[in-house]
Structure 1
Amino acid sequence: MSKTVAVFEPIYSPDQTLNCAEFLPLVRADNSRPEWREFKILIDMYRNGDHLRHDFTGLFSPKFTLKSKISGAAFLDFVQRHSDSDICFINPFPQLAYWSYNVWMQGEHAHPGLMQAAQALLDASGVSVTIRDTPRHGPKSLAYCNFWVGSQRFWDEYVGRTLLPIADFLEANPSHDAALAVMTDTMHTDPAPFLPFIVERLFSTYISLHPELPCSAYAFGAQEVHDYCINDYEKLLLDRMRAKIDEADASTVFDAALVDQMDLVCALWQKHFFDFYATRPHPHTGQPVHQS
């Protein structure tokens, strides 16, 4: 039986048009708290009950097709084919799984201090997640970017019980040390604070800690993962790491030596990333990488 799927694309200005014709426009006349990025919109959608009007609801940035390399129609078809799940998502950076044990290993190298700021925020918000206990994020749970749709159940359990308490805390306690820390600018393709990168990583963290939630990840073939690499250095790392990581994911055993190797490779990858794109346009923005 076909399910109703609503993927909203934010519209920030009168002259902006939908990037994906299959998605629904979400006009943002009130662009308060722009530094929260999509986190603010997700919270507003939940508070407005938008997730209760459809079987599946999601919020995708206008860069969806650029990053994901698939059409909106293809993603909606994927959701219909996996409509028995509570979550359907696509990870536009599948190559990162081959040199980062989970989203927090990559996040700490990309945004030094991220884990400490995130844990302080979670603790202050009353969200019972210990970041250092986060398990492996392989292809079935890894997601960078909020390219997910969830059932009403998932919105209530994840957005309502994890993201909403964070928003409530930040709104009520803007001068708290934990609130100030997550609003500190970090290195990125565009100027941005820690907060949106923390929220982005909470999705994979949550679904990996709740295996009881049926979840469907858009699958990539070996060559497709290679095609998602954004430069030759990433292709080299993928070719060198692929066999051992695939074997570890298949066995679900990542020994300490392998995790340490991934941490080293992730550090080298991140150093190359910032050096390489400091003077070159990043393919997703057309601009050099901002360094705070």
Structure 2
Amino acid sequence: MSIYLYQISRHPEVGFLSLQEGDRPDWGDYAAIRAYFVNEVVDEEALYGFFPAGFAEQSGIAAADMAQFVERHPGNDAYLFVPNQRDATCFLNVFEEAEFRHPGFRQLAQDYLDAVGLSLDLREFVTDSRATAHTGNVLAKPVFWKTWFDLCEQVFALAEAGDGPLAAGLNATSGDASALALKVLLTDRIASLVLALDQQLRIAAFDHAARPLSDLASLAYRDKLPQLDAMKRDYLATGDITLIDSFLALRNSILQYTGNAPASLISPALAVIPARDAELVYGCITHVELPIRFPDFVTPIYLGESQAPGRLNLRELAPKWVPYHPIVGGMVGNFALRNYILEHHPKVKRIGVCMYRKFISRERISGVPAEENWMMDVVSDKELERQTFDSMLDPGAGDLLVGKTCGFLSEGQSAGYLKHYASAHHVEDLLRFAAAAVELGVLHSREVELFFDERVFFMGGVELGVFPAAFWLKSIADIEAVAWACVQRYEVKREGYQSRAWAFCAERLGSYLLLRYLRSICGGDNFEQYMGQLNLITRGDQTLYVPSN
């Protein structure tokens, strides 16, 4: 197998082939690599690497070391030679690492991903040593480089278009001594995207443990770096959010020790509203001004016209969902709440959720059912004169608090989710939503019939109640993935009450996920001990429930 070790320099180091700089210095090393792929024919079985000038001297990894490593680890598609192990392990991904030095870069990269239709939230993107590398650290076959080049060419096209805020951001310079354009930093980090997202690639990462220390100060934390990588790897395998908690605590201590921890790693950029205690975050999703004063332990998440400076807004917490708020409904607030919790309360144990006029209480308060929806009791301002709202909303110490279950009727008969949906909404929406859930692994193919025929329903699904954090965070992530797939694939437009098409689907999927979880811990449908009362906040003697659009 042929190995082509190029160095972008007129005077390459020993063992490297010279690759002339490109004729567009504003594109950095990408200009040279781009010219190569545009003009040269590649061997599908050969390995190609494009290393920056001075790489061997700066990294301590010579061309001969690379060739020897390939010989000892045959059969891989990509080989990674990452010199800065602190940066590779101390950040969740290369985009967070860039944000560390260039505030605002991660959002620019996110805007690029959204523009090219790549559904990935960089705030939740985690890579271990098998997928953490810059372009100048990779020796790979064309199976890697072709995908990399395609993604980079889209950066090139967007930047060269020269119009709009995204082009302006890509062409802006970094503001530090390097004065590199941000588009250069982005193309340099796309290598990590390809490594992480192409699950078919066979990857071998060079082990730096035996290399001489380039910085004696790193001796104090060098043994901690493998621990950080192991935490990320285990998180990717299990989804256990507590591993990220541990990772952040250890990495912050290392960065603070080295004197390089920016304020953003210690003090959140967004205003953080204290949780009632370290174990509970209670969010309230609203698109209007709150009708009454909510308890101090409740964190409002604002949508639509209610967003304003100084608030926790959808447009900052989950900006990609802003245009889809009308069709996904209040569920987008849960996506925003999840992002807020992951960034500011990663150690939370319980998560509570209510809406601006709906909440779950441990006990019945008024005992007066709402008209047209007997599952809810109305709680008027008269009740608030007799009992504080803090005590009504207090979830107690339990890990779970949900409303009572109900069922659906169709033509006077008990009906499952699908049959009822077909009679009340547009059935093709639920069919598409379920198909996406199966495709994404949220539902197993064997569960589809069970999901469609489920007769037990939790109003609000996972949008109302108190839940164990691990369950709620995973469930919301799953629902978000399915909803995102649907809004990207289908241009669904409905009028009036039916306008929240994907919201109805998300509620049913949330209900099913909650049922599946409760049945797993209770061994059946005997979960009454976790049930409270669903309430509707009203004014005066009003008892009629009118769904909002």
Aligned-partner Cα distance in 2 for 1:210–1:190: 31
- The whole-number CA distance in structure 2 between the counterparts of 1:53 and 1:105 is 33
TM-score of the superposition, structure 2-length normalised?
Answer: 0.42
- Asked if 2 retains the 8 angstrom alpha-carbon contact of 1:5 and 1:54, the reply is no
- Counterpart check, 1:96 vs 2:87: yes
Alpha-carbon spacing, 1:56–1:242, altered in 2? closer, same or farther (3 Å): closer
1:249–1:70 distance in 2 versus 1, CA, 3 Å: same
In the TM superposition, 1:39-50 aligns within 5 A as: 39-50=30-41
Q: Secondary structure in 1 aligned to 2:49?
A: strand
Q: RCO higher in 1 or 2 (8 Å CA, sep ≥ 6)?
A: 1
TM-aligned CA deviation for residue 145 of structure 1: 5.4
C-alpha distance after superposition, 1:47-81 (max 9, x if no partner):
22343487111211112112320211111222233
Q: C-alpha separation between the residues in 1 aligned to 2:226 and 2:76? A: 29
Equivalent residue number for residue 148 of structure 1 = 138
Distance 1:145 1:157 in 2: 12
Distance of 1:271 and 1:51 partners within structure 2: 45
Please list the CA deviations of residues 148-189 of structure 1 after superposition, one character each: whole Å capped at 9, or x if unmatched: 1221222222323x1122222322x12331111122222545
Runs of 4+ aligned structure 1 residues displaced above 6 Å come to none
Change in Cα spacing, 1:120 to 1:70, as seen in structure 2 (3 Å) is same
Secondary structure of the 2:86 match is helix
**How far does residue 117 in structure 1 lie from its aligned partner after superposition?**
0.9
Aligned twin of 2:152 = 163
Aligned to 1:65: 56
* Alpha-carbon distance in structure 1 between the residues aligned to 2:232 and 2:27: 34
Cα gap change, 1:54 to 1:64, in 2 (>3 Å): farther
Stretch of structure 1 that moved more, 141-150 or 85-94: 141-150
Report the TM-score when normalising by structure 1.
0.75
Equivalences for residues 1-292 of structure 1 within 5 A: 3-11=1-9, 16-20=10-14, 22-28=15-21, 31-32=23-24, 34-52=25-43, 55-135=46-126, 137-144=127-134, 146-160=136-150, 162-171=151-160, 173-188=161-176, 190-221=178-209, 224=211, 227-228=213-214, 230=215, 232=217, 234-238=218-222, 241-242=224-225, 244-245=227-228, 247-249=230-232, 251-252=234-235, 255=242, 256-261=244-249, 264-265=252-253, 268=256, 272=260
What SS does the aligned partner of 1:216 have?
strand
User: Which has the greater radius of gyration?
Assistant: 2
After superposition, the Cα gap between the structure-2 partners of 1:187 and 1:78, relative to the gap in structure 1 and judged at 3 Å, is farther
**What is the count of residue pairs matched by the alignment?**
257
Q: Is the 8 A contact 2:170 2:182 kept in 1?
A: yes
Deviations 1:260-283 (A, max 9, x none): 425644764786389xxxxxxxxx
Contact 1:87 1:149 in 2 (8 A): yes
Give 5+ residue unaligned stretches, structure 1: 275-292
RMSD of equivalent CA atoms:
2.9
Secondary structure in structure 1 of the residue aligned to 2:19: strand
Distance 1:97 1:153 in 2: 23
Q: After alignment, is 115-124 or 184-193 more displaced? A: 184-193
Identity level (%): 18
Task: Measure the CA separation in 2 of the matches of 1:88 and 1:49.
Answer: 22
Deviation of 1:196 after TM superposition, in Å, equals 2.0
Quote the offset at 1:214 in angstroms.
Answer: 0.7
- Whole-angstrom CA distance in 2 between matches of 1:138 and 1:257: 16
Question: Matches of 1:8 and 1:265 in 2, distance apart?
Answer: 38
Unmatched runs of 5 consecutive residues or more in structure 2? 263-549
The 1-side partners of 2:208 and 2:51 are apart by 20
